[in-house]
Amino acid sequence: MRRKRDEGERTEKVREEWTELDRPIGVLSMDDGELKEKEATHVYKGKTRSTIKIKTESGRDIELTPVHKLFVLTPEMEILEKRRRI
């Protein structure tokens, strides 16, 4: 379900913006190396001047910021942070 843009108080700064939500939304979060369901009370959008493009092992193209974390699911069903290769 999509949220309406007016479902919270929005704050804008020069290179970022965030919204304090009227009602929390369910999200998946990493907590001590485990994936857990949590609630988000705010959403954040940073503005950046640079992005990088990577191709995943499955052939998908992704564009993201250089500091963005990536996670993979191993054959043993473990979730690990994957370092990007330049």
pLDDT digits (tens, 9 = 90+) for 63-83: 988 888 888 888 998 888 887
Q: Determine what percent of the chain is predicted with pLDDT higher than 70.
A: 90
39 pLDDT higher than 70: yes
Give domain limits for the chain.
1-47, 50-86
What's the pLDDT score for residue 2?
45
Indicate the range of 4-8, 47-51, 52-56 predicted with least confidence. 4-8
Tell me the pTM: 0.57
Strand spans (E) along the chain:
8-12, 16-31, 34-46, 52-55, 61-64, 70-73, 79-82
